[in-house]
Amino acid sequence: MTTPSTLRVRGLTVTDDRGNHPLHQFDFDAATGEIVALVGPSGSGKTTAIAAILGVLPRGVAVTAGSVVWCGPGEHGTRSWRGTTVGYAAQDPASALHPGHTACRSVAEAARMRGCARHDATAAARSVLSELGLTDEQIDSPPHRLSGGQAQRVAVARALVVSPPLVILDEPTSGLDDVTLEPVLAAIIARRRANGVTIVATHDPRLIAVCDRVLRTAPAVDDHTVFVSGRVVRSGTSALELTDFGIRTEQGRMLLDSSTLDVRTGEFVVLRGPSGCGKTTLLRAVCGLHPFDGTLTLDGHAVAARVGERTPQSRAAIALVGQNPRDALNPAHNIERILRRQMRRLHPRADLRAEAERLLDRVAVPRTVLRRRPHELSGGQRQRVAIARALAGRPRLLIADEMTASLDHNTAMLITDLLDELRHACTETDSGLSILATTHDEYLAARADRVVEIHKASIIETPSHTRSTHI
C-alpha cells in the first residue's frame, strides 16, 4: 500500500527581476484523496503558484520567501521528482505533446517515467485515453490531427495515467463542451480513491462543483493595489466611492443604512447577497436611477443623485448592463444604429460602422446582426449586444447586473476575458475601467478581485476564509 501524501505551502512569495510580486504570502494545504480548486481572476497568480510549487519558475522570477513541504515520494523540486511523482497538465496542451508522437505514445511515455514496463504503459495509456472519450483513431493520431479539445484530453491523460502521487491541472476543462467534459470530471473525481493529492486551477464552475475545497485568490499586496493580468495597474486611486450611503425601497423599507463602498481604478468587484437585499437597487442608485442618501464620488468628484442632474461627463463615465437587455436596446432601431449612437460622442469622424463591427467581433456576435432589430436576436445575443453598447462609450465604470445570466459558459469566459483585457488596456492609457457587478454565477465571482455582500443593510467584505490566500 502506498504512503499517503500531503502538500503544505507557507508564506510563499515570488518576486520578478523588476521587484514585482506575482505571488505574495501564499498559504496552501492539500491532503491525500482531496481535490482542491484554486480560483481567482485571470493573471492573479494561479499559474505562478503552480510553477513555484513544481520548482519550474521562468528565468527572472524566483521564490524569495516561504516554504513548500512535500510529504510523499521523491525529493521535492527535482527533475526526477517531477517526472516520477507529478502528473501536470499545463494551460496549453500542445506544450505537453510531442508533435511526432501519437496520443497513445505521449501518454505511455509518461507512464513509463512513473515506473511502468513498456507493454503495461501502452495498455495504461490506451485505457485512460479511452476513459476520457477518445476513439481508437484519435488515440493513434499525432497532435496535428486532433482538435483542441482532444489535445487537451490527451494532456490530462498524461497527467492522470497510473495515478501519480501529485496531480496538478491548470485549466483542464476550459475548451471542453458538456459532452466531452463529463468523462474528464469522472476521471478527476476518481482521484479521491487514490493515495494522492489533486490540485486544479480553474475558472470553470462545472469543475469547481466537484472539488472538495475551493481556495479563492485575492490578488492584492495591500488594500489599495489592483492587479490585471498579473501586473499592478494602479495603487490608491478610487474610481467609485460611496460614503454614508443609504437606499430604501419605494415603500420606505431600509435596504442600506450609512454604508461605505470603494471600487478602485481597474478593479472588478462583485456584489452578492440574498434575493431582495438591494443589490439591483444599489446599482440603479449608482447610475442615478434610484434616490439615495449620502455621497457618491467618481474619480474624487461628487456626483448628483439623479441622472438628470448629472453633467454629461459624469453620465458618460458610468455604463449599465441590466438584467434585461431589452430595456437597453431600442426596439425601433437596428443594432448598428444602437451602437453608432453610443459611439458618436467619442468618434464623431470615425468609421462608425467599422467600429460597430469591431465591437460585435469582441463579444462574439456575427456582424450580420447589424441590420437586425433586438427582437430578431436570441436572448444571449441581445445580452452581448447590450454589453457591446455599454462598452461603446468607453466608460470609466461598468455597472453590470447579472450580465452573464443568459450566456453559456464559453461565452461567459469570452466576455470576462474581454473585460480583463479592457481593464488592463484602459489603465495603460490612464482611463482605467472599473467594474461593479452583481451575479449568482460562481465563475464570474471567481474572476473578481473582491467580493462584497449586502448583509443586514450593510456592505461587508466576504469572510477571509473564502479568500484564503493573497496572490
Question: Rounded to an integer, what distance in angstroms lies between the CA atom of residue 56 and that of residue 49?
Answer: 10
For residues 438, 442, 445, 446, the Cα torsion angle rounded to the nearest 10 degrees is -170
The predicted structure's pLDDT at residue 347: 61
The mean-pLDDT minimum among 30-44, 48-62, 147-161 falls in: 30-44
**Closest of 6, 43, 13, 464 to residue 231, by C-alpha:** 43
Same fold, 6-218 and 225-470: yes
Residue with more model confidence, 88 or 313: 88
Average pLDDT of span 10-29 = 87
The predicted structure's pLDDT at residue 349: 61
The predicted structure's pLDDT at residue 86: 96
The predicted structure's pLDDT at residue 469: 37
Angle between helices 335-343 and 352-362 (to 10 degrees): 110
The mean-pLDDT minimum among 165-174, 207-216, 408-417 falls in: 408-417
Residue 430, pLDDT above cutoff 60: no
The predicted structure's pLDDT at residue 2: 58
Residue with more model confidence, 43 or 138: 138
The predicted structure's pLDDT at residue 461: 82
Total residues found in the chain within this entry: 471
CATH number of 225-470: 3.40.50.300
Residue-range domain boundaries for the chain: 6-218, 225-470
The predicted structure's pLDDT at residue 43: 61
Extract the C-alpha cell encoding 110.
509518461
Share of the chain above pLDDT 90, in %: 47
- 125-129, 148-152, 236-240: which is most confident: 125-129
Residue 36, strand partner residues: 199, 213
What is the per-residue pLDDT across 356-401, written as a single tens digit (0 to 9) for each? 998 898 888 889 899 998 888 877 888 889 989 998 888 889 999 9
Residue 187, pLDDT above cutoff 70: yes
Residue 63, strand partner residues: 14
Residue with cell 460611496: 242
The mean-pLDDT minimum among 143-147, 205-209, 441-445 falls in: 441-445
Residue 53, pLDDT above cutoff 50: yes
Average pLDDT of span 292-311 = 92
The predicted structure's pLDDT at residue 384: 87
The mean-pLDDT minimum among 98-102, 109-113, 205-209, 292-296 falls in: 205-209
The predicted structure's pLDDT at residue 232: 40
Mean pLDDT of the chain, nearest integer: 85
Question: Rounded to an integer, what distance in angstroms lies between the CA atom of residue 309 and that of residue 289?
Answer: 11
Residue type, 201: A
Average pLDDT of span 412-431 = 68
Residue 471 pLDDT level (bands cut at 50, 70, 90): very low
The predicted structure's pLDDT at residue 449: 85
Name the CATH superfamily, with its identifier, for domain 6-218.
P-loop containing nucleotide triphosphate hydrolases (3.40.50.300)
pTM for the full predicted model: 0.59
Extract the C-alpha cell encoding 37.
480548486
Extract the C-alpha cell encoding 143.
497532435
**Closest of 176, 194, 141, 102 to residue 408, by C-alpha:** 176
**Buried/exposed code over 362-375 (b: 16+ C-beta within 10 A; e: otherwise):** bbebeeebbeebbe
Residue 142, pLDDT above cutoff 90: yes
The predicted structure's pLDDT at residue 229: 40
Q: What are the C-alpha distances in Å from 312 to residues 40, 106, 288, 426?
A: 36, 60, 13, 20
Average pLDDT of span 99-110 = 95
Share of the chain above pLDDT 70, in %: 88
Residue with cell 491532503: 31
For residues 413, 414, 419, 423, the Cα torsion angle rounded to the nearest 10 degrees is 100
Question: Rounded to an integer, what distance in angstroms lies between the CA atom of residue 107 and that of residue 126?
Answer: 8
- 10-19, 123-132, 137-146, 295-304: which is most confident: 123-132
Residue 200, pLDDT above cutoff 90: yes
Strand pairing category for 458-461 and 450-455: antiparallel
Residue 309 pLDDT level (bands cut at 50, 70, 90): very high
Residue 278, pLDDT above cutoff 70: yes
What is the per-residue pLDDT across 201-218, written as a single tens digit (0 to 9) for each? 987 878 888 999 888 765
